[in-house]
Structure 1
Amino acid sequence: MSLKVEGISKKFGSNLIIDNYDFEVTPEQITIVLGESGSGKTTLLRMINNLEKVDQGSISIDGVLLVEDGVYKSSNDVKAYQHKIGLVFQDYQLFPNLSVLENLLLAPLSNQMGSREELIVKAKELLNQMGLPDKELMKPRQLSGGQKQRVSIARAMMMNPSILCFDEPTSALDEQTVAKVADLILQLQAQGMMILIITHDRTLVELLGSRAQVIESTSFLN
């Protein structure tokens, strides 16, 4: 089980961002791509999540290809790939008009991943795992930043992904909440979830310790 990125390249105009780059994410370690703004790490994450197209190269999860040698697969193959990946956005992207529970149910109901009753049971289990058993009827505006982060993680996990990707998961959080998020990420990795984190936060890297492999975004052009 792994995410494989092979020989990918990306240019914006004449500006080469990533050049013939390879890396792999496995369940054995948390993978952290570390770098400052403008270093290409967000572009890499967007390509992995099919939000940005590669110029060349291949990306696959558990052998399911998104793109091979720069050619994107059929819509059915792309859908199968996207079902294997969950993205926790930097700004959470929770629907403000929906309750926490409704935010968790929306995507799996749309994808017919179970009955409403079955999915409600799963959502409540995930909220309990996230330490939010009493927040299901609240709206996002009633939550702290750390609570929104955990709801966003639970929402991604409702789709049963093979890998969870985090985009700057601690950028708006205080030191105590960063430590809680790090503990939660360690728990998810211990349960066998593949984890990919894009960050500039070296404190988070230190908190994740030996369980993480760190890739410097400066290596994208080497």
Structure 2
Amino acid sequence: MSRFAYPSPNSVHPLPEFPQVCFIKNTVTNPNIIIGDYTYYDDPVDSENFERNVLYHFPFVGDKLIIGKFCALACGVQFIMNGGNHKMSGFSTYPFEIFGHSWQRVMPEPDAYPYKGDTVIGDDVWIGYGATIMPGIKIGPGAIIAAKSVVTKDVPAYGIVGGNPAQVIRYRFAPEVIERLLALAWWDWDIEKITRNLEHIVNTDLDALQACT
């Protein structure tokens, strides 16, 4: 028997006395939203209803929101999906066609709408309060998104970004350290191994972390 204890990834509220924290893998029902183990959403109003923050996510568009493991999502984070895009090739961007009647005659082909692909958030990403992620964005592992940022382009692994539009402020570690961390991918270890080596994961002795493999 292991001497280590750890929260179950299948818990809805891993801290029962603090229900504003929710492991949202266990509450999301949309098959096009894929959440990794231990990723949590922190919201004092309704932490279980994370899906309300995924906007314009229409099933006929087919895009996915994929969020990795061990991500921390602060209150008010929003993901704008591809269904929020309007046709931009004509003089007007107004969607006349969706209101029917004679306006339907200008129904464009599906590929006339901008499409940026799936939105993919890597593992161990921290997204701050009220940040907005635009359609098709890819955020690398270990990145930090500052509060109220509007992310309009991809974020590199272990980058810290902020602003509107968000820009890279700095990287958390030197390039060679980032390369080694990505190769280690501690978030893919089994939870027993992660728990056993937490002291190394939360500190900065890379050689010690490497020795855990």
Q: Give the alignment's TM-score, normalised by structure 1.
A: 0.24
Larger C-alpha radius of gyration, 1 or 2?
A: 2
More helix by share: 1
More strand by share: 1
**Bigger RCO (CA 8 Å, 6+ sep):** 1
